């Protein structure tokens, strides 16, 4: 089971290292990692379990964050229509994206960052993504809203990129060209 002490924090070189493609069929270790990452998210969003295990709530978790350089991440959140999205994405990619951007008006946070870093993080408003499931099945999804933002946050982790890399340093709340704040679509 993944606990807070297993999540590495900013300054650790693994967070700045590009993760490697995962080979199929998955090894037992890869399968266990995929399972454990999704389990962390589910527990972290459950009031009893998060309290019991001292978990900080999260909608996503990338392998780099548990010090593993595998191209996989877990997402567990609801979309705009209240549909639960819950999956582990292996070798994920964005195959196309909108020109229009979006951003969370309250900024982003990260389980690997123990401080609040204010500022808008520009993200594509809509993305089409492809990834493999743990069973080697290829999926293609269209995402918008929070799932699109979270997917991009996690994909960045696999490429050694942190959310604050995208914040305008001189003016963190500077207008993002061709964008709308999430929630005001
Ligand atoms: C705000 C938070 C997240 C994604 C997008 C906006 C996820 C936070 C948890 N993580 O650190 C996952 O990498
Ligand atoms: Ni993160």
pLDDT digits (tens, 9 = 90+) for 153-163: 999 999 999 99
Which amino acids bring their CB within 6 angstroms of ligand 1?
Answer: 58-62, 65, 104, 108-112, 149-150, 153-154, 157
Task: Give the pLDDT of residue 185.
Answer: 59
82-139 pLDDT, tens digit each? 999 999 999 999 999 999 999 999 999 999 999 999 999 999 999 999 999 999 999 9
Which of 120, 95, 125 has its CA nearest to residue 107? 120
Q: What are the extents of the domains in the chain?
A: 4-181
Q: What is the mean pLDDT of residues 45-71?
A: 98
Binding residues for Fe cation: 110, 153, 157
Q: What is the mean pLDDT of residues 179-185?
A: 87
- Asked whether the predicted pLDDT for residue 45 surpasses 90, the reply is yes
Mean pLDDT (the chain) is 98
Q: What is residue 114's three-state secondary structure? A: coil
Task: Give the pLDDT of residue 44.
Answer: 98
14-24 pLDDT, tens digit each? 999 999 999 99
Distance CA 118, CA 21 (A): 32
Query: Of all residues in the chain, what percent carry a pLDDT higher than 70?
Result: 99
Q: What is the mean pLDDT of residues 48-77?
A: 98
Give strand pairing partners of 101. Answer: 124, 179
Structural tokens at position 93: 């990619």
Task: Give the pLDDT of residue 184.
Answer: 72
Dist. CA 39 → ligand 2 center (Å): 16
Residues annotated as catalytic are 154
Pick the CATH number of 4-181 from 3.90.45.10, 3.40.50.620, 3.30.56.10, 3.30.930.10: 3.90.45.10
């Amino acid at each position: 089971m993944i606990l807070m002490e297993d999540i590495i924090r900013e300054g650790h070189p693994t967070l700045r290292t590009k993760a490697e493609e995962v080979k199929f069929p998955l090894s037992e270790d890869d399968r266990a990692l995929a399972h454990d990452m999704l389990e962390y998210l589910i527990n972290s969003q459950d009031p009893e379990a998060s309290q019991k295990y001292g978990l900080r709530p999260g909608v996503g978790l990338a392998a780099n964050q548990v010090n593993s350089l595998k191209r996989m991440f877990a997402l567990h959140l609801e979309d705009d229509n209240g549909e639960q999205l819950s999956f582990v994405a292996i070798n994920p990619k964005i195959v196309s994206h909108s020109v229009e951007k979006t951003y969370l008006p309250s900024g982003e946070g990260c389980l690997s960052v123990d401080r609040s870093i204010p500022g808008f993080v520009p993200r594509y408003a809509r993305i089409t993504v492809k990834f493999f499931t743990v069973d080697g099945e290829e999926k293609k999804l269209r995402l918008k809203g929070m799932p699109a933002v979270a997917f991009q946050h996690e994909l960045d982790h696999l490429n050694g990129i942190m959310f604050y890399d995208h914040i305008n340093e001189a003016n963190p709340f500077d207008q993002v060209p061709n964008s709308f704040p999430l929630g005001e679509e």
